[in-house]
Structure 1
C-alpha cells in the first residue's frame, strides 16, 4: 500500500510553532511513586447545585483551555517547566449525591497521602467539592487557614436541601473540621446572600471582605494582613476560588453570574501573591459551567489562574 501523506493521529493535526510550548503540554499522567512540584485532580461533581449547572464538565474544559497559553512569562522572563502530575478525575455516580461526596473524600485522602506533589490544584465541579477536599487535607496537615474567593458565603443551612454547593463551609464548621477564625472570605457581593448568613458569618468570627472592601482597601493589603494572621496559627493555607467572585463580564460561564464583581486582573493579582507564600499548599477552582460559557472565557480565566499559581511558586 502506498504511503498516505499529510495524515497525523486524530487531534494532532494542528499548527505547531517549534519555539512555543503550550501550557497544556505541562500536564503529565501520574505514575505510582512519581513526585513533583504540582499535582492536579479533577472533581467533576455538580449534581448538588441549587441551580442548573454543568460544572461536572469543567475539569476537562479547563485542561483544554490551557492550550490557549504558552509556558513563557514575559513579565518574569521565565519559562514554566515544572510538569503537572495529572491524577485524572474522581469517578462520580450519576445519581448518588451523598455517596459521591464520600467518594471525593476517599479519593482525595488517597491522593494527598501519596505526597506526590508539593502543591495541589483541584478542578471542580461545584463548590460542594471543597468540603471533601478541605476535610481530607486537614487530616493530613492538621488545622489549616482557608482563603475563599467568592460572591457567596456558602454558609446555607443543610435542612433545606442537604449538602449543596451553597453549604460546604457551613458543613465544615458544623462538623468541627474548621472553626470560623480559620476562614477568610474575599469578594462577597451585595444582594447575593441572605441576612441570616451574613449574621452567621459574624457569629462564627469569619473574616469577611465585601467587594466594597476589596475596592477600598486593595487585594494585596487584605492578603498581607490575613496571610500574616493565619501564619501565626496554622502551618498551611488552602485557597478556594469560586469563579463567580468575578463580575459576569469576566466569567459568563458561572451558574450564578452577576454584576458588581471582581475583575480578572484583581483575582490574578491575589493568586500570584498567595502562591508566593510557602504556606499555601493547595488551591481549588470551582463553579464553571462550560455549557453556558462564551468562547470558553471562564475556563480560560481558570487556566490562567493555574499558570499564575505556578508562576508564583516558581
Structure 2
C-alpha cells in the first residue's frame, strides 16, 4: 500500500558554486529512468563571502531556465547544497539536555564556536543519535542563515518550491543507505563532485558520525587525488582510534565517474581491500552516460533519496 503513495516522478537539483544541475527521474513498471538531465552555468560564483542581490538574481535566472521543464508539473524537488557550506558535527556529551529548546541552544552555541561564526545568523537542526561508550551522541547541523535565505528567495523567484533542502552528503547517505546497512561494521564514503569532495563516516548502527566537506583547490591529476586519499585515510584512522568498538568495514566512493576511478586507485594503494565504487545510475533503466558526469550523480541521488 505504501508504494502507491510514492511520487512517480521527482527532481534532484544541485546548486553548486559555479553551476546548477537538475535530474528529472520517472518511475514506471520497468523501474526508474532518467527523463532529463540539464546543467546551467552561473554568471557569478556563489558562497564566497556574504550573498548579494546580484548573486541572488543570477541564481534565480539560472533556476528559471533549468526549471522550465518541470516547475509547472508540481513534482517533488529535492535541493542539494555543497557540503562545505553545511556543517555536520556529532557531539559526544556526558548528558543530553532535557528539552528540545535547550538542545537546540547547545547545538547553535557549539557550532558557532567551532566554526568561528559567533554573531552570524545560523540555520540549525539537531538529532539525538543515542549513546556510545557511555556518551550521548547529538548530531548538529548548521548553515549560514543569510545564504539559506538568499537561496530560498531565488528558488521562489524562479517559481520552484522545494520539498527538501539539504547538504549533498545527506542525500547521498539516504540514496545508498540500504547498501551501507548490508555491511556488518561501520563504513566510510568518499564523494567527489566538480567543486568539492566529502568524507562521510557511519558506525555499525548506521548512524552518521562524521561528515566533512572540502572545496577542491583545482589540483589536477594524480597528486590531487593522492592528497584526498591521504587526508581521508588520516581522518578515518583518527575516528577508529577514538572509540573502543569503532570499526570501518568498507570504504565506498561516489561521484563523477572519471574522478572516482582515479581516486579508487589512490585509495587502493593505502588499503588492504580496495574501495567499492557506487554508480548513481546503477539501478536506472538505460541511464545515459551523462548520469555519471559533473553534478548529475548527486542530482540523481537527491531525486531518489
What's the TM-score once normalised by structure 2's chain length? 0.28
What's the TM-score once normalised by structure 1's chain length? 0.28
Larger strand share, 1 or 2: 2
